[in-house]
Structure 1
Amino acid sequence: MEDDKLKTKSREVKSPVIVGLDPGLTVGIAILDLEGNLIHLRSIKEASHSEVIMEIMDHGKAIIIGSDVHPPPKMVKKIATALNSRLYTPEKIFSVALKNELVNTFLIEKRLEVSLDAHERDALAAAIKTYRHYENKLRQVESRLEDSTISRREVDEIKGLVIKGTPITNAIKKIRKPKSVKKRIPAPQIKEKPKEAMEEFSKLKNRVKVQEQKIKHQKLLIDRLKRQNKRLKDKLGRQKRENINLKKKIERLHYEYSKDILLNKELSSKIKLIKKLQEKYNKEKKLREKLEENINSLLEMKDFEHEGEKIPVKIVKSFTREGIKEACHQWKIKKDDIILLYNAKGGGSQTAKILAKLAPKAIITRENMSHQAIKIFEDNETPIIPAQNITLETRENFALIKKRDLENEIEKWEKKMIENRRKKEKQKLWKIIDEYRVKRRRNQQ
């Protein structure tokens, strides 16, 4: 039925018109006559090409189709080709402010009160801009034919030829018929120039054939798209709510940005989001690999603990608050664990107190420790063993020490501490005796 309608429209004689199109999910259509008067304005949601073509053909023969962007969208090109119309695009993209000014001035001049949506505004702006581009030539035609008896329809046909590029004089000659022929032939106008009429009929017939082929192609395309739409119906149902929100967002952005700027902005946003997600994924992947490595190391430690011959040593890379916190998180340091300090520099009494609270069985150090830290560990009776005194078997993330070697070193440290206490007590006793002697001498004097 749709094809039959299009064929019927193509055979009807229509007045030439100027069309402005704004393609997209919602198509804006504005139609002006060749005197610049608004004769039709509408926006159609999710319109097919055939629907747009029928809407235009209902109101006249499209001589030229205008777009508000450069280069013109594919949909505008296809419709212009289907209607055998000339295509006009501005040299640069319209700004929203320029569109509003152009449309408002037009409505005031024509004394029209019309409520427009964004699509209708863009379409009307395209139609006005197209008319203004050809306005001088159209006025020249009016001036040349001002005193003639030629009909309005013929004037419009001449204007249509001029818009399509025919010089004004040639266009007038082509449309206007000599008076002598009219006097000789009283029959209807179609008999005045049968040869020219046949040529015109032949051209129209060929044009109709071309249009029918294009319509047939469009019908096949529409059928294929319908089948595809059916397959995608389930998916579209899930995305419908999201699409509504996106449509609203696009409507708002359409007032402020051109289509190219909007596209670049959306692409830039998506690229940033992808990069952010990629960075997050890489970070999570590294963390997972690290945790797996730590778990494997902890399981290996457990195996050695059960065997009993060797004792696992948990490593603290730096003698700082951050280093201790990191090691506790990684190795779950608990009471009676053996700790290896890779770097003992920088640790003072406060850092030593944090480590002493964990109550390790012993601390193995590869470097000299500060006196303040040593005193804290001695007060908490935590053995400090120099790494050079024992043999450490280094693994990937931890170390091993023979149980017998560790017990010997702890025993040596305890003996040393007992000896140091005895010396301190002896020194303290001698100090008391000396103080007593001095006091006694004073009393004797």
Structure 2
Amino acid sequence: MKIMGIDIEAMESPSSKSQPLYSVIIIDENEKIIYKAENVSLSRVIRLCWEYNIDILATDNIYELGENDKDIINIVKLLPQNTNIVQVTYHNGEFKQIRELAKEIGYEVQGKLSPQKTAYLDALLALKGYGTSIKIEEKRTKIVVSRGRALGPGGMSQNRYKRYIRGTLLRVAKEIKEKLDMKGFDYDMIVRRSRAGIEGAVFIVYTPRERLYGIVRKMRGHDVVVDIKPIYKNKIEFKDKKSERRLIVGIDPGTEVGLSIIDIYGRPILLTSRRNIDRDEIVSLISKEGKAIIVATDVNPLPDTVKKIASKFNAKIFIPEKSLSVDEKQRLIDEYSKLHKLKIDNPHVRDSLAAALKAYNEIESKLRQIESFISRLDIDIIDENRIYDCVIFGTTVSECVEKEIEKIIEKDNKNGIKEKQKEKDTAKDINKLTKLEEENKELKSELLRYKRIIYNLINERDTLIRKIDEIKLQTNKEIERDRKIYELNLNLQNVYKVINELENKLRYNEKQIEKLKNVIHKLLNGKVIVIKRDTNINGIVFDGSNIYIGEEKVNCEIAEYVDKEIIILDKLVLKDLEVLRKELQIERSKNIDIKRIVDEYRNKRLKEGNFSF
């Protein structure tokens, strides 16, 4: 299904000399937008309807398409026959604002609606079943049989060709007549006769155009043209609500229930099967589509479930003389499937549809008789659906129409009596009315005064709201500026901190580089010696973290360079350490405090400045 929503652009009017422009949105049954455009001309809207095979053209006001009923009807004639025009703001017999309808389907509208948004809401509301279709077609159809080409002057061959064309026209007209007679349609036939055939024929068939689908087909050949057109009304009306539609229902009861619903024109409405559903659910499914006037079954005797469902609608029950055979069901289904391009595989749907079709075939001629009778009368005040309800139970069409007219007359008489009573009551209430009118004038003047006050207050409120919005905007700008300044200051502080850390690290590295340069210079000049880890040189050992003279630990600060694998010592320091080692041995033998001696020596060396690290 494809639905087109349209809304006229601002400053455009269908009464202008140039074509009005529209906003257009096309959606599918999943609410997906498949096309949208602005400033679309009316001719392009019509082309898009043909190109996308639009099912529903939705608008919030049908008079945006044309200035009057005649203009709109002329536009409808240009649309595909399957395109239905729906005014979404006229729902269930009353007009509503599109904002209210949007709220009902869960859309909150803020501010003024643009034409593009309105077009989208039109399409969405139509998809969800809102709105009412316009009705411009009469329940009559015109079939015109004419020549495919003009018959010009010529010789003997030309005369022979004329006779051939006229004979062909006669044959085609006879075929159409036979088909209409076979289906029981009421019609008028106008023929222009000539030698050896006819010049053309016109059929006025008293039935809607859709009833002729599959029976009489259009033809456009070199010799003969058959054109089929609905006859349009002179004014626009809204179609009856869906709940008033009359239906023929076939039911196949059981664990899995088959349910088939067709309308009084034989068109499929609902073909389904449901497992484990009760009678109330079946009644609910039928009620959603309209009112059942016939409930049918394919078996005899009548199932109790079918009887109880029929009683809910006060519908007539159709029971075949004997249960329908499989071959008869299949024949009915095959013919119907071919006509309506259906594929029916479910056996429960097949049985229920066969029952509905059997009932429909039994009363089809009666239904067409009702159609033709009402179309000929062309009385709008008669409720057509009540005529169907009446005739279904055996009353003649004439009697049913007379009953409806009697009801209307009785209603008018009752209204007349009520009017007389109202006149008497009115005479009594003249004095009261005069007083009320005076009070009303006073109240109106008071109301006008309050309206002025309200108007001024509204203007003042709007002015204050604008000022508040301006202040909010300015405040937000200042807050945003202060926030950015704070972020920049914070970033700047972090940058300064990083710079200081890098500068300290750089100075430390420069000192280390200078020291390493000094060590390398001494190493090249042979002034220092490298001692590897766990190597004993003259009783001096380095274990990767400390220097030992015998068992005494010496601070590593006396070394020129230290890492985990080596230390570099000044040769003079090494000699001093050897001297200390010997003195240590001597003093140890004298129980002298070696640690004190080492510390004194280290301090002495530090003062002299021979090594540092």
Same topology, TM > 0.5: no
Greater relative CO, 1 or 2 (CA 8 Å, sep 6+): 1
Q: Which has the larger radius of gyration?
A: 2
> Which has the larger strand fraction?
2
> Which has the larger helix fraction?
1
TM-score (ref. length: structure 1): 0.36
TM-score (ref. length: structure 2): 0.27
